[in-house]
Amino acid sequence: MYSKKVIEYFTKPKNVGEIQKADAQVTEGSLACGDMVNLYLRIDPKTKVIKDIKFKSYGCAANIATTSIMTEMAKGKTIDQAKKMQFSDVTKALGGLPPMKIHCSVLAIDALKAAIRNYEEKHGIAKPEDINESILRSRLRHVMDPGIGKDIVTVGIVQDVKFDAKSGIVSLMLRLPNTHQFYDNILHEIDERIGFIPGIKKIDKKFIE
């Protein structure tokens, strides 16, 4: 079911590993299957060229292959060029993927974009207009409900996310009773995860039963 190239990149993946003291580092997960990718970037501070990129995949063969070829394609690009990469670019470069495995390439590209965003935020060069609901949801997927061991988006604590770019206000609809064992921790984690993003001025939290 896989092309020759997918098999080649799965059996001999490129750029596997970690970068010590990376300029950007993220862990991204796929809602479709629960798999994860760690991605590390080294970026030239002047030219903004991706000088080094490494990954660790906790996903399937298709994810290892797509993340691997994505790292080769992204290396040497500026972060602005890399941001334009699409999951279809990597699936094409691999000679295609079975339809049920397309989401594995989406995870690879999501990790790249999240890592670039991480770099831009740390260096104060992220543009507020780049913030959208899907970025915010992806951040909130890193906030766990410790009682269940799953993230607050997956377990349905986050019911709705809206962002108004003009006012910089994030509106969250949360199903989180104040009797919840980890009520304070979860609210604190939410502020930590999205409160520092440039362009966000306020987080409005509404609670539903």
As annotated, the active-site residues are 33, 104
Minimum CB separation from ligand FES for residue 101, in Å? 6
Quick one: which of 13, 22, 30, 69 contacts ligand FES (CB under 6 A)? 30
The alpha helices in 35-161, defined as continuous H runs, are: 61-74, 79-83, 87-93, 102-122, 133-140
* Closer CB to ligand FES, 100 or 125, in the complex: 100
Q: How far is the CB of 104 from ligand FES (least distance, A)?
A: 3
Does residue 154 contact residue 31 with C-beta atoms inside 8 Å?
A: yes
Pick from 71, 208, 197, 52: which is nearest to 138 by CA?
197
Give the pair of three-digit tokens for residue 135.
């970025």
Please pick, from the candidates 59, 70, 74, 189, the single residue that binds ligand FES as defined by CB under 6 A. Answer: 59
Tokens 């399937």, residue?
Answer: 60
The total of other beta-carbon atoms located within 10 Å of residue 68's CB is 24
Does the protein bind ligand FES through residue 60 (CB under 6 A)? yes
Residue 35 interacts with ligand FES (CB under 6 A): yes or no: yes
Q: Least distance from C-beta 77 to ligand FES, angstroms?
A: 23
Strand partners, 25: 40
User: Please, which residue, 35 or 130, has the CB nearer to ligand FES?
Assistant: 35
Q: How many CA atoms lie within 13 A of 103 on its CB side?
A: 12
Q: How far is the CB of 37 from ligand FES (least distance, A)?
A: 8
DSSP-assigned letter for residue 171: E
Site for ligand FES in 93-132 (CB under 6 A): 101, 104, 107
CA distance 151 to 191: 15
Report the phi/psi class of residue 148: left, alpha or beta, with left for phi > 0 and alpha for psi in -120 to 50.
Answer: alpha
Instruction: Output 58 or 207, the one with its CB closest to ligand FES.
Output: 58
Is 38 a residue that touches ligand FES (CB under 6 A)? no
Q: Does 62 bind ligand FES (CB under 6 A)?
A: yes
* Listed residue (78, 64, 50, 48) closest to 108, CA to CA: 64
Nearer to ligand FES, 66 or 118 (CB): 66
13 binds ligand FES (CB under 6 A): no
- In the chain, the amino acid numbered 93 is A
Our finding on whether 173 is near ligand FES (CB under 6 A) is: no
What does the binding site for ligand FES look like in residue numbers (CB under 6 A)? Answer: 30, 33, 35, 59-60, 62-63, 101, 104, 107
